Chain A
Amino acid sequence: MNIEILTLTEVERVEGEVGDFVVTLRESPRYVDMDKCIACGECARVCPAESALESHGGIAPRKAAYLKYPQAVPLKYQIDPQICLYLREGRCGACEKVCPAGAIRFDDTSRIISLEVGSIILAPGFHPFDPSGIRTWGYGLFPHVIRSVDLEPMLSASGPSGGRLLRPGDGKKVRKIAFLQCVGSRDYNKASHGYCSSVCCMSALKEAMIAREQDPDLEVSIFFLDMRTFGKGFERTYERAREKGIRFYRCRVYSLEPSERNDGITFRYITDQGKQAEESFDLVVLSVGMEAHAGCRSLAERTGVELNGNGFAVTSSFAPTATSRPGIYACGTFSGPKDIPQSVVEGSAAAAAATMALMDVRYSRTRQKDFPLEEDTGIQEPRVGVFICHCGSNIAGVVDVADVADYAAGLPSVVHVERNLFTCSQDSQDAMRRTIREKSLNRVVVAACTPRTHEPLFRETLKASGLNENLFEMANIRNQGAWVHAACPEAATAKARDLVRMATAKAGLLEALPPVSVGVIPQALVIGGGVAGMVSALGLADQGFSVHLVEKSSQLGGNARHLSRTWKNESIPGFVEQCSRRIRDHEHITVHLKSTVIHAEGAVGHFRSTIRKHAGSTTVDHGVAVIATGGEAYKSDVYGYEHSQKVLTALEFDKLHLVGDERVRYGQSFVFIQCVGSREPARPYCSKVCCTHSIQSAIVLKEEDPSRSVYILYRDIRAYGQREELYKRARDLGVVFINYELHEKPNVLIQDDEVSVVVWDHVLHEPLRIPADVVILATAIVSNPDIADLARLYKIPVDADGFVQEAHAKLRPVDFATDGLFLAGLAHYPKPIEESVVQAQAAVARAVTVLSNGRILLDSVKARVNPATCDGCALCLDVCPYHAITLENVPGEEDRKIIAVHTARCKGCGACQATCPKDGVEVGGFTYRQLSAQVDAALNAIA
């Protein structure tokens, strides 16, 4: 209700400043009246104009009148003036004739919109790189060369081949497929994109695995430069792919040619043994990278935002969503290539950053709906109203709706039946509200489409009519009737009768459920005083909420105190100092140093945590908590670490370098060993930051003295995103990169005071012995061991590597499954400082969605105890995934215990009800009585 979607709209210009921008936008004509269109699809059905159009999802024919995709929001058709015969040539107009809603508007024109806003967030996205016209890859020349974005729909079960991998053009079954990585990325020559697109390695692995799952005989080869599986869970996927027999070749592939019998594509490559080989494949997939599209550039120009040479918005590591123009923020791929979870994190972070200056006008523009007082229906006899939707011809074209209506009228408790062309349309809803009042309906059944999309709308109508929203039931006679039995109208009608009978049977037993809400204490607890914790605390405090910041050690700053420069060469100590100072001076922040949380209880809105400091302890009430306990450097006696003063961890090296230690100052040969403790069986994950960190150090060493020999021994260089430019710079400066495999790790030889490193040289095919003045170990980042205690206290999940588990890897990357708890920083997974900052800001935005509400409304569908039948067997405690059930003493009965449901935690999943052998617990709205009535109705057709 507080989001207005403006489609087909682009920014023209931006005037004003932070807090008070005036934005001029242009809305292009849609040629379809959004208020009238009911998305029946008649216009597209009759539209004769079709054109094969390039889109993200590959090339697919589409009509001039079309829906962008089946689940589009808003679900409204549009007419493409480039294809439409009427708009181009003034003939046709077929859609206008068939549209049952009269929604076609050929006279639609573009309009100028002027908006006053406090701040602006830019998220224009990216385009996949277009490889056509570049001979090497043969895309567009040979039909058997496709892009990764073309493969996606080919593998889709809902795609044209039902998920079977058939070759475009000849429809031949694909037996051998090759993926070529870095097409349009890391390539100045052909693509003029020096950066890494960050996502294509994982995307290729995902597609390769899906293709293999669908056809276990499929031969899959991936040709790559570095396998960049640096994200959470990515390395395991890579390992699984190798175990499954997907072949990997570390080489760039050039010159794709059609095979001799023109039956595929042939190219040459270098094998693991360094030999040249030639092979043919049925299908070659180009893993195309991301690039900023033309719209990004024009948007940047119109908004006055600076872009870098790659076409991405310029941002700082310490304010990762702030653009060069104050008050305008960037998120997603606009500021560099990134994957879905990172884009989601940035979306939240931008929301937090964009409202920092606007906290005093919070709620000044939002609206809230008022509903009439609910009627008490508890004592009334059920009076069921059944509304049957035609859904244009969607339902009525197959199902005999008149027959279903007649049938419904004869069902018990039904006092009103009506049919609507579209029950969901605004006028039908207004009429429904009147009918509920006039006919004193106290239960409503709508036989239409899916509750997933439309139930909320109908529930609102019930509320507006003074009925409890739970006195409502839907029968999905469209998807489960008309659509699946489209070929057999009699069966579809019979099924619709069954579904309506079932819904009505349940509806008669529905009861009003009280709305559940909890009060919110406008205070936050942040655990961990590193960068993520400091940024979270400051963000929440700047948004006007009081914060308790708990830090185990005696000072703030965490791991960042040991770092000097970001990969963009910004000073980290300055940032840490600034944060610490602001926290010390902030009126809303209470810092607890040398403190730990020892006890926690409560749920979203009203947690209570006990903090122990020295001998004493304090109790803090808080509405939300941010877990930012960080990580630490892995230490182990490998590569002679404990036997030589010349073998250092990366952080130790940084310190010695900073203080001008003579080992570093006079050193002439430096060897960096990567993946020390990472990507090994004990820690099968990538620590994400070490490649960039070593490259940065190597560059500084070379810049200080170009005559130095600097080697980096690596498994894959994971300088993802625009960090790739550092990798190139290091190579240009003469840093030597030598690849090694897990099974042939380098050897560090220590003799007296002399240290040398032996590594297999893949170019010379012999061992290479490098004398080293200093060996630097790029050690893994491991999780903070304290997390185990916190996990127990707050009941948060921790993964196999000791990192906390977010609610959803892609869509909810900073939330825990438990409401009101959020995460940020290294506690989640190893990451560079700017990603910790942005994740902390995201946690702020997510936490503010809870804190800014005095009360939070929860779903009314909750488990409730029947004290008469519950005997306290506690079986339900184990199955409850939300820890919402506890065993409590019955007041006045010393020996008897029964369960209690914590309503704020309960999600109404019903696991307890299904487990209970005594009917001692049930879920409102889904009781056994209601469900059995539905089942009985399904089994006993009433003639």
Chain B
Amino acid sequence: MLKEKSGAVLVVGGGIAGMQAALDLANGGFFVYLAERSGAIGGSMTHWDKVFPSNECSL
């Protein structure tokens, strides 16, 4: 017998790839748990200020 599926997705890693995945999942109708090892999301992106001076993560 099939067990009940969950409408939630776990994303491990809050860098640019993980954040984009989380946003698209949430906007596509899924609940997202975004687990990040450090104290804040943003990942390596937060160190490249010349690429993205505004440093948005659009969350």
A residues touching B (Cβ–Cβ < 8 Å)?
2-11, 19-21, 23, 25, 30, 55-57, 67-69, 71-76, 78, 115-126, 149, 152-153, 155-156, 158, 206-207, 210, 295, 299, 303, 331-334, 340, 343-344, 346-348, 350-352, 354-355, 357-358, 360-366, 810-811, 845-846, 848-849, 852
Contact = CB atoms under 8 A, between A and B. Distances in A.
A351 B21 contact: yes
Given A344-B20, A346-B17, A20 B40 contact: no
A681 to B, nearest CB: 28
Contact of B47 (A56, A75, A354, A363): A56
A639 B4 CA distance: 63
8 contacts: A7-B36, A8-B38, A72-B39, A123-B13, A153-B47, A295-B37, A332-B18, A363-B7
Interface string B8-43: 111111111111111111111111111111111111
Given A6-B36, A73-B57, 9 more contacts: A9-B36, A19-B6, A71-B57, A117-B8, A123-B21, A332-B16, A346-B17, A361-B6, A362-B7
Contact of A121 (B10, B26, B37, B57): B10
Question: Which residue, B4, B13, B19, B26, has most C-beta atoms of chain A within 10 A?
Answer: B13
Contacts of A3: 22-23, 26, 32, 34, 59
Given A332-B18, A366-B30, A810-B52, A78 B7 contact: no
A295 B13 CA distance: 11
Question: Which residue, A5, A361, A810, has most C-beta atoms of chain B within 10 A?
Answer: A5
B29 A363 contact: yes
Contacts of B35: 6, 9-11, 25
B28 to A, nearest CB: 4
B29 A852 contact: yes
B17 A361 contact: no
A360 B5 contact: yes
B32 A23 contact: no
Given A2-B30, A365-B30, A852-B28, A120 B6 contact: no
Given A9-B35, A123-B17, A343-B16, A210 B6 contact: no
Interface residues of B, number: 56
A362 B29 contact: yes
Contacts of B27: 849, 852
B49 to A, nearest CB: 5
Interface in B44-58: 44-52, 55-58
A298 to B, nearest CB: 11
Contacts of B14: 5, 7
Given A348-B20, A365-B31, A354 B9 contact: yes
B6 A118 contact: yes
A365 B5 contact: no
B38 A68 contact: yes
A343 B31 contact: no
A236 B32 CA distance: 39
Contacts of A9: 35-37
Contacts of A364: 6-7
Given A115-B8, A125-B44, A363-B7, A7 B38 contact: yes
Contact of B24 (A4, A6, A352, A357): A352
| Among all A-B residue pairs, the 9 with the closest Cβ atoms | A332-B17, A347-B20, A364-B7, A123-B13, A123-B18, A72-B40, A365-B31, A849-B27, A351-B24
B28 A351 contact: yes
Contacts of A295: 37
Nearest to A813: B20
Given A68-B42, A118-B5, A152-B49, A347 B16 contact: yes
A41 to B, nearest CB: 14
A158 B43 CA distance: 19
Contacts of B3: 19-20
A357 B7 CA distance: 10
B32 to A, nearest CB: 5
A7 B41 contact: yes
Contacts of B8: 115-118, 365
Contacts of B34: 3-6
Contact of B12 (A122, A333, A351, A811): A122
Contacts of A78: 39
A405 to B, nearest CB: 32
A72 B49 contact: no
Nearest to B12: A122
A756 B28 CA distance: 58
A297 to B, nearest CB: 13
Contacts of B6: 19-21, 116-118, 358, 361, 364-365
A332 B51 CA distance: 17
A154 to B, nearest CB: 11
A706 to B, nearest CB: 42
A158 B38 CA distance: 24
Contacts of A21: 6, 10
